[in-house]
A and B are shown apart, each in its own frame.
With several copies, the nearest count.
Chain A
Amino acid sequence: MREITLSKAVNEAIAEEMRRDPSIFVIGEDVAEAGTPFKVLSGLVEEFGTERIIDTPIAEPGFMGIAVGAAMTGSRPIVDLMFGDFLYLVMDQLCNQAAKTHYMSGGKLNVPLVLRTNLGATRRSAAQHSQSLHALVAHIPGLKVAMPSSAYEAKGLMKTAIRDNNPVVIFEDKLMYQDKAPVPEEEYFIPFGVANVLREGTDITLVATSSMVQVALKAADILAAEGMSAEVIDPRTIVPLDEDTILKSVRKTSRAIVIDEGHQSYGITGEIASRISEKAFYHLDAPVQRMGAMDVPVPFSPALEDVTVPTEQTVAERARLAIRGDLFHAA
């Protein structure tokens, strides 16, 4: 199968959907001629014109609000938010307006929009351009949240997001834009709420999101070399969350680590770990471990930044402890 970059995969997904449905448009900063600073949307304005690939002033709350109103009146906007760190600026329009409109109107108004943005540290982009803020939106009822972990995932999830009748937030990993993966030529969709078991195993379940999926897979390699067998699961969407696949796995392996690049405290690892602990309690041979980013603003200095996120080594080390039973007795 051909291999394309995650960037190209997103581009294709949007282009295919836009060809099909004229009510879709893209709105954001430097999305047209520049094709975004990450060049993800390059070429779209040439095909669809500036009426559908709309460059905005630097006014995130404003164009987020405009997208909500457009979505309520027959359009299907794709909002481009250049950095996930700017989510804070659009929270009111996203969480007070987009997320609640369908419910508050008793089901009469819909807000079918996609907010595409990104996450991920270790780019030396410092504290205001390196955050992974998916936990904030996952907490708000009415928003769906997708976290693609490869080019294949990015295309399939984006196409599903665009056809969803609700506000969907997609977090792409900034560091993965140039990563290639096999992506079929034929159209496909990845349904929301269906986790992906990337690797089967028997000793421990590694639940990992987005950027951390690769980390988990590499940790599984390390463990395999040492004779331990890790199952790796990518939830793909954290809202809705495919609890069943995760629970089934943990009931088999009896151990789990949840790995995510958001800050650990009050982040998504707590939710997933809690659901496992609640619903597979009887099966657990070790406490469910959580590995998020450190609870510090992301430091600029490479010497500091790299230690703030989980790595294959730290994940493998925690898995070893769990499998050996060291965690059990410590708790």
Chain B
Amino acid sequence: MSAAKKANSNRDDYLRMYRQMVRIRAFEDNANQLYLSAKMPGLTHMYSGQEAVAVGICEALTCDDKITSTHRGHGHCVAKGANFKEMFCELLGKEEGYCRGKGGSMHIADQANGNLGANAIVGGSMGIATGAALSARRLGKTDVTVCFFGDGATAQGLMYEVMNMAALWRLPVIYACENNGYSEYTRTDEIAAGSITARAEAFGIESHQVDGQDVLAVNKLATDLVARARKGEGPFFIELMTYRYHGHHVGDINREYYRPKDEEAEWKSNRDPIANFGKWLEDQKIVTNDELVSINKDIKAQAEEAVAYAEKAAYPSVNEVDMHVFASSAA
């Protein structure tokens, strides 16, 4: 959706944002269920609680704009336009998955929608995002790239290397730091000295901090920065204050040793991005509660249908194991 269109936000836009957030939550609830019922291979990291970040930002992007994602990437993937079926198939290692089952949860890519892929190396996509921005500019495209990463990833030196180049070369890239307060089992203040936004500012990069639970605030800021980046005023840095509802990964159940239960309760009951936005939509008389309930129900059904489909879908043939090591190289 174009920036111009976003500026004049309207009922459709609001509803799409709401729907996309609900879709992410529904996806994650099902993924978590698949894990708990031992139907999912490996493990996965839930995006629940952070929906307003992915949706607020991705709704400010066109389909051609690029994103890079993380180990906690389902939210970015859904928000950038992916379908449930191919996503669940990928999570279960099935042939119809976005990556033919080869990538799995931590490597879902959906290049048709501009998602260059999740990454299991913390901070590993920061160069990729910056390079996509350089590529777009060099090839005369107007694409903007958003690099999603967590607060923990700010400890990776790569970030400073690429911010320096992005700033020197004024690249159309937006660094979106999802500060959910923890990296694995460690509080952010134990691993991040000083100020995260000041680090970007030191490279001359305009930086913002925003409430990551408020989809409209996120979307407004993102819309503005995307438009400016498109005009060559980038790069930008955003720190989005948010929270993850689940453990670090689906198996991280007992977390009281690093995170108090009442902190979790506080975020879930008072700062839920979906509930709060839904309430606002009702308060503004943009939708009725019945409409919201019916949206939620529809999406839940779609997710369950996709899960059922994926469970029945076929695994890739064993012959695929050594396919795709190299791309063919017609000169």
CB within 8 Å: A-B pair count: 279
Interface band, chain B = 35 or more
Task: Indicate whether A109 sits within 8 Å of B331 (C-beta atoms), given known contacts A73-B132, A128-B120.
Answer: no
Determine which of B41, B116, B329 lies in contact with A300 in the assembled complex, contact meaning CB atoms within 8 Å.
B41
Q: Which residue of B lies closest to A88 (CB)?
A: B121
Q: Which residue of A lies closest to B327 (CB)?
A: A165
On chain B, the residues within 8 Å of A299 by CB distance are 101-102, 321
Query: Is there contact, CB below 8 Å, between A66 and B130?
Result: yes
Q: Which residue of A lies closest to B168 (CB)?
A: A57
Task: Indicate whether A294 sits within 8 Å of B322 (C-beta atoms), given known contacts A69-B132, A69-B135.
Answer: yes
Docked CA distance A308–B42 (Å): 17
On chain A, the residues within 8 Å of B98 by CB distance are 105-106, 108
On chain A, the residues within 8 Å of B190 by CB distance are 55
A107 to chain B, nearest CB (A): 4
**Does A101 count as interface, using CB distance less than 8 angstroms?**
yes
**Does B162 count as interface, using CB distance less than 8 angstroms?**
yes
On chain A, the residues within 8 Å of B143 by CB distance are 73
**Does A284 count as interface, using CB distance less than 8 angstroms?**
no
Query: Is there contact, CB below 8 Å, between A59 and B155?
Result: yes
Q: Produce 1/0 per residue, B226-270, CB < 8 A to A.
A: 000000000000000000000000000000011000000000000
Q: Which of A287-319 contact B (CB under 8 A)?
A: 294-297, 299-304, 307-308
On chain B, the residues within 8 Å of A303 by CB distance are 93, 101, 315-316, 318
Q: Produce 1/0 per residue, B111-124, CB < 8 A to A.
A: 10000110111111
Query: Is there contact, CB below 8 Å, between A65 and B126?
Result: yes
Docked CA distance A299–B325 (Å): 10
On chain B, the residues within 8 Å of A127 by CB distance are 102-103, 107, 120
**Does B176 count as interface, using CB distance less than 8 angstroms?**
no
Q: Produce 1/0 per residue, A63-101, CB < 8 A to B.
A: 111111111111101000000011001001100110001
Task: Indicate whether A59 sits within 8 Å of B315 (C-beta atoms), given known contacts A102-B326, A102-B327, A300-B104.
Answer: no
**Does B308 count as interface, using CB distance less than 8 angstroms?**
no
Q: Produce 1/0 per residue, A136-161, CB < 8 A to B.
A: 00000110100000000000000010
Query: Is there contact, CB below 8 Å, between A59 and B157?
Result: yes
On chain A, the residues within 8 Å of B289 by CB distance are none
Q: Which of A56, A69, A127, A296 has the most chain B CB atoms closer than 10 A to its own CB?
A: A69
Docked CA distance A244–B102 (Å): 31
Q: Which of A228-278 contact B (CB under 8 A)?
A: none
Q: Which residue of B lies closest to A55 (CB)?
A: B186
On chain B, the residues within 8 Å of A166 by CB distance are 326-327, 329
Query: Is there contact, CB below 8 Å, between A301 and B191?
Result: no
Task: Indicate whether A74 sits within 8 Å of B135 (C-beta atoms), given known contacts A107-B327, A301-B316.
Answer: yes
Q: Which residue of B lies closest to A125 (CB)?
A: B42
Query: Is there contact, CB below 8 Å, between A296 and B322?
Result: yes
Task: Indicate whether A163 sits within 8 Å of B329 (C-beta atoms), given known contacts A126-B103, A304-B102.
Answer: yes
Determine which of B138, B145, B164, B316 lies in contact with A59 in the assembled complex, contact meaning CB atoms within 8 Å.
B164
Q: Which residue of B lies closest to A160 (CB)?
A: B331
Task: Indicate whether A105 sits within 8 Å of B107 (C-beta atoms), given known contacts A57-B191, A62-B162, A73-B132.
Answer: yes
**Does B36 count as interface, using CB distance less than 8 angstroms?**
no
**Does A61 count as interface, using CB distance less than 8 angstroms?**
yes
On chain B, the residues within 8 Å of A141 by CB distance are 325
Determine which of A62, A72, A304 lies in contact with B132 in the assembled complex, contact meaning CB atoms within 8 Å.
A72
A291 to chain B, nearest CB (A): 16
Query: Is there contact, CB below 8 Å, between B99 and A106?
Result: yes
Residues on B facing A (Cβ under 8 Å): 41-42, 66, 68, 93-94, 97-107, 109, 111, 116-117, 119-136, 138-139, 143, 145, 152-153, 155-158, 161-162, 164-165, 168, 183-186, 190-192, 257-258, 315-316, 318, 320-329, 331
Known: A57-B192, A72-B111; 9 extra A-B contacts, CB below 8 A, are A23-B139, A61-B158, A71-B131, A77-B131, A96-B124, A124-B41, A296-B321, A299-B101, A304-B102
